[in-house]
Amino acid sequence: MDKPVSLLVISKTKETGVFKKKLEAYGFKPDFETTEDMSSIIEASQVPRWNAVLIDSNDGSEILEVLTFVRGKKSGIPVLCVLGSDCTKPPHIDPALGPYDFIYSDRLEGLGAVLDKKLVNAELRRDERKYRTIIETARELIVTYDLEGKITYANPSATDISGYTCEELEDKNMSEIIVIRTIERESNRYYYAADLVTKSGDTVPLEVFTMVLEDKAELTQIFAIARDTTRRRKAEAKAIRHQEELFQAAKLASLGTLVSGVAHEISNPITSVLLNSPVIKKVWESVLPVLDRYSESHGNFSVGGMSWSQVRLRMPTLLDDILGGAKRVRSIVGELKDFARKGPPEMRESVNVNVVVKSSIGIVSNLIGKSTVDFSVELDEEVPLVTGNAQKIEQVVINLLVNACQALTSIEQAISLSTFYDEEDNEIVIEIQDQGKGIPKETLSRIKDPFFTTKYDTGGTGLGLSISDRIIHDHRGTLEFFSAPGKGTKAVVKLPA
C-alpha cells in the first residue's frame, strides 16, 4: 500500500524523477515541491508543511542553513542530504541541530529505507514531546520507580505537592514518602489509597494507580499516577456537615413550633399566679394583726405543722418567693416566645453591662463554684450605657461563662471576667478568660458556624455561639475568640457605646 509523503526538494537542477522512482519502488507515494534555494522555505513555511526535506547538495553551509531553519521552526521534520558520488567526505554537522542523515547519489536504492526510518523516528520524537508535555503539565502526581522502589522520574506536580525538588525525589525510595492505607490488585495494575509524607512532615491523601512497564518481557519500571484527594475529602465532609445542618435545622423548626405551644400553655396559669399572689399578700397583711392578738391571748399556737412564730417570720418570704418565681417563669416564657418568634428582638433599652454581668454570674454561680476555686471579676464602674436588649446580652454572657467552665480540666484553673471602656474606639468591652484546654486552630475558625459543635456526644447542638454571635451582631458589636491548645481561651465582646 502506497504511503503518502510530502517532500521539499532543494536542488539546483530541480530534477526529481530519480527520487520519485526510488521512493515509489519502496512503497511511498511522493508529492514533491522543488526549489533551488532557501527562499521558498522562508516564504512558504511559517509552519513547515512537509514530512521531510531532501537536499541535493555537497555544500555544508547550505545544509547547515536548512537544518538551522527547521530547528528554529521546532517542527522536528527530518532532513536528508543526497551527496554526489565525487564527495569523498560528508560535511560535519552538529547532531543537536536536529534529525539529519545523508546518502550518496550512486546508492539511491536505499533512499526509501533511509527516509522511512527518519520519518518513523520523527514521529516517535513528536509523540515523546506530546506525552512529555501532557505528563509535565498534568495536575496529577506522576512518578516512575524501579522494582526496588527507587524513584527514577517525578513530574512537576509531584515536586510541587511533596515540597521536594526533582533531584531530592530521585534520591528517595517510595517507601520513604508513601504510606499505603488500602490496596486492590487487578492483573498487573494496583489501585490504592495512600498518604504522601511531604518534606515539611505534613500528609496529603492520595488516590494512586500503578502499573508495571515491561521491556522485552522483563519487568523494569513501575508507573504511578496519583491524585490529591484533599479537595474531594473536604467536599464530602462539607456535604455531610450540610446534611447534618439540614437535619438540625428541621429539628430546630419543629422545636420552635413546640416551644411556642408550651409557652402559650404555661402563660395562662402563671398569669393567674401573678394576679393572685398580690391578693394573697394583702390578705396576709390584713389578718396578721388579728392573728397577733390571738397569739397574745392564747399563746404560740400551731399552724400547718409550724408554730405561729415560725409562720409569722417565714410567710412574707414565702409570698415574695412565690411572686418572684412567677415573674421568673413569665420571663422564661417570654424568652421561649422570643426564641420561636421570627424577627429581631427589641433593642431600645439603655443597658448597664455591669448589671447584666452581675446577673449572669448569679444565674450560673453554682456551675462556676463547681468548676473552679479561682474566679475573679473586675468591673469598670465608669462604663457608659449601651443601647440594646439586656436579656439578650445576659444570654451571651451566660453562654460564654458556661463554655469557660466546661473548658477547664482542673478546679485549680482560673476564670476571669472584666469590663472596661475603650475610649479610643468608643466601645464597652467584656472579656472572659479561662485557663482551660484551649481550641485548635482548625476548630477556632468554625466555632461560630451554625450547628458546628465538638459536643455532639454530650448533647451539644452547635447553636450557642452562633446565636451569641448573632445577638452581638444585632447590637452592632463583635464577638471574637483568641485561643491555642493548652493555653486557654479569651472571649472578647465589644459593644458600641
CATH of the domain at 40: 3.40.50.2300
Residues 277 and 374 in one domain: no
Residues 278 and 200 in one domain: no
**pLDDT of amino acid 462:** 45
Residue 143 clears pLDDT 60, i.e. is over it = yes
Residues 158 and 176 in one domain: yes
Residues 155 and 222 in one domain: yes
**pLDDT of amino acid 463:** 55
**Residue after which a domain boundary falls, among 70, 101, 135:** 135
Confidence grade of residue 46 (pLDDT, cut at 50, 70, 90) = low
Residue 250 lies in a domain: no
| Cα separation, 157 vs 61, whole angstroms | 43
Long-range contacts of 369-375, Cβ-Cβ distance < 8 Å, separation of 24 or more: 370/405, 371/405, 371/406, 371/408, 371/411, 371/415, 372/405, 372/408, 372/411, 372/412, 372/413, 372/414, 372/415, 373/411, 373/412, 374/412, 374/413, 374/414, 374/415, 375/414, 375/415, 375/416, 375/417
**pLDDT of amino acid 458:** 47
CA 357 to chain centre: 38
Sorted by sequence, the CB contacts under 8 Å of residue 460 that are 6+ apart come out as 453, 454
Whole-number Cα distances in Å, 154 to 139, 141, 171, 194, 208: 12, 8, 11, 17, 14
The pLDDT tens digits for 203-213 are 889 998 888 87
Domain range spanning residue 306? Answer: 260-340
Nearest residue to 48 via CA among 33, 60, 37, 58 = 33
Q: Which residue has the cell 509531584?
A: 158
Residues 286 and 317 in one domain: yes
**pLDDT of amino acid 98:** 66
The pLDDT tens digits for 231-241 are 887 887 778 77
Residue 24 lies in a domain: yes
19, 30 Cβ separation under 8 angstroms: yes
Residues 91 and 212 in one domain: no
Lowest mean pLDDT among 25-34, 68-77, 99-108, 218-227: 68-77
Residue 100 lies in a domain: yes
The pLDDT tens digits for 465-492 are 877 888 898 899 999 999 888 889 999 9
Looking from the CA of 115 toward its CB, the CA atoms found within 13 Å total 31
**Residue after which a domain boundary falls, among 316, 340, 364:** 340
Residue 13 lies in a domain: yes
Residues 32 and 19 in one domain: yes
Residues 25 and 39 in one domain: yes
| Cα separation, 45 vs 349, whole angstroms | 84
**pLDDT of amino acid 461:** 46
> Number of structural domains, the chain?
4
3-state helix, strand, coil in the chain (%, to 5): 45, 25, 25
Confidence grade of residue 106 (pLDDT, cut at 50, 70, 90) = confident
Residue 152 lies in a domain: yes
Residues 491 and 354 in one domain: yes
Q: In 27-155, which residue ranges form alpha helices assigned H by DSSP?
A: 39-44, 60-72, 111-137
Residues 268 and 172 in one domain: no
DSSP for residue 424: T
| CA-based torsion, 89, 94, 97, 99: positive or negative | positive
Mean of pLDDT over the chain: 82
Residues 128 and 68 in one domain: yes
| Cα separation, 15 vs 43, whole angstroms | 22
Residue 173 lies in a domain: yes
Whole-number Cα distances in Å, 483 to 57, 373, 474: 81, 22, 25
Residue 255 lies in a domain: no
Residues 327 and 437 in one domain: no
Residue 146 lies in a domain: yes
The pLDDT tens digits for 355-408 are 999 988 887 888 999 999 999 999 999 899 999 988 889 889 988 999 899 889
**Residue after which a domain boundary falls, among 299, 323, 340:** 340
Residue 433 clears pLDDT 90, i.e. is over it = yes
* pLDDT, mean of residues 18-33: 88
CATH at 398: 3.30.565.10
The pLDDT tens digits for 251-281 are 666 766 777 777 778 888 888 888 998 899 8
The pLDDT tens digits for 402-417 are 989 988 999 999 999 9
| Cα separation, 265 vs 165, whole angstroms | 72
Residue 184 clears pLDDT 50, i.e. is over it = yes
Residue 42 clears pLDDT 70, i.e. is over it = no
| Cα separation, 174 vs 69, whole angstroms | 44
Sorted by sequence, the CB contacts under 8 Å of residue 301 that are 6+ apart come out as 294, 295, 307, 308
Total residue count of the chain as it appears in this document:
497
- pTM for the model: 0.44
